Structure 1
Amino acid sequence: MRMPWVHPDGPGRYEHEARMNIPSSRANATCSVEGGSGKATPIPLASSALQGSSVEDMTGTGTDKRSYSISEVVALTGLTAHTLRWYERIGLMPHVDRSHTGQRRFRDRDLDWLAFVGKLRLTGMPVADMVRYAELLREGESTFEERQELLEATRRDVISRIAELHDTLAVLDHKIEFYAGARRAPERHSVR
């Protein structure tokens, strides 16, 4: 099994199509990326991040050979170049490799990490907590318990928000039924 390298979350290898946090409308899209041969090769983009992969390799010691420019990562993730640079600056991403000309060269492990960060963002986790999680990850196995506690707290928040959204949905459904019934009522009277 290949395990992704996901930044601030750890060691492993990668499964490119399973790590991207891409809207479902783009789930079956492809992006053309120039590989080492100089030829553009399509890369499938999937809608679910990290299926069957781990986000625990912050060391960057994997055998990842494919690299992506910042514009390719923008196209693959939907994030802006500014956001990618900001993530690196605040410590949310580990150091991104550079080319001999100084340009950022992202690896599959970076894409794994960005997919994981995207999922954390969707939970509503504050950026400071995401950065803390990344720091803990870089500190190694001795922080497993603290990382678990951080994720469990976030999970509790998500469950609470889901319950609130279910209640909100019930209110909306009630109002929609009310308006649908109000529209039908005049039709019944005019048919007579």
Structure 2
Amino acid sequence: MNISEVGGKFGLSQDTLRYYERVGLLPRVNRTKGGVRDYTEEDCKWVEFIKCMRNVGLPVEVLIEYVALYQLGDETLQTRKELLIEQRKQLAVRLEEMQSTLERLDTKIDRYEQWTYAKDKLQRRPFN
């Protein structure tokens, strides 16, 4: 797949994909004889992984470290696992914070709905 096709498949710009490769988020992508990037299925799996991790807020630096460790081979398995465990812990904390905020917003919205309903009811009361 060329860069345009990969970008379309994952909803990423070509500039973003080039950036991922330039900073080491994405292992080096093969090129055709003409110099055009030629993404393999494995490259697409990396793009999908990076997009997923970035969507939940994992820092670019952490992902760069992960990719670098991956490229060093199996001797980094434990280190990669520990890195992912730490990121999972941090994500779980953020998830709890977001759940709390969501509940708070639901409470506020409910109050506005109750207030609006009560106000509408008062305005419809006949004058006697």
TM-score if structure 2 supplies the norm length? 0.92
Of residues 108-117 and 84-93 in structure 1, the stretch that sits farther from structure 2 once superposed is 84-93
Of the three residues 12, 16, 22, the one matched with 1:79 is 12
2:56, 2:72 → 1: CA distance?
24
2:96, 2:30 → 1: CA distance?
42
The match for 1:22 is none
The match for 1:140 is 73
Are residue 122 (structure 1) and residue 51 (structure 2) matched? no
Deviation at 1:74, TM superposition (A): 1.2
Of the three residues 70, 95, 100, the one matched with 2:3 is 70
Normalized per residue, the structure richer in strand is 1
Instruction: Assess if the C-alpha contact under 8 Å between 1:123 and 1:154 holds in 2.
Output: no
Q: Deviations over 1:138-165 (max 9, x none)?
A: 1111111110111011101111111101
Normalized per residue, the structure richer in helix is 2
Of the three residues 9, 30, 38, the one matched with 1:97 is 30
- TM alignment of 1:1-192, pairs within 5 A: 68-189=1-122, 190-192=124-126
How many residues align structurally? Answer: 125
The match for 1:44 is none
Deviation at 1:191, TM superposition (A): 3.3
SS of the residue corresponding to residue 99 of structure 1 reads coil
Partner amino acid for 2:43? D
Q: Deviations over 1:48-105 (max 9, x none)?
A: xxxxxxxxxxxxxxxxxxxx01111111111111111111111111121111111111
CA RMSD of aligned residues (A): 1.1
Structure showing greater relative contact order (alpha-carbon pairs closer than 8 Å, 6 or more residues apart): 1
Residue identity over aligned pairs, in percent, reads: 36
TM-score if structure 1 supplies the norm length? 0.62
Runs of at least 5 residues in structure 2 that lack an aligned partner in the other structure = none
Q: Following TM superposition, where does structure 1 have runs of at least 4 consecutive aligned residues deviating by more than 6 angstroms?
A: none
Runs of at least 5 residues in structure 1 that lack an aligned partner in the other structure = 1-67
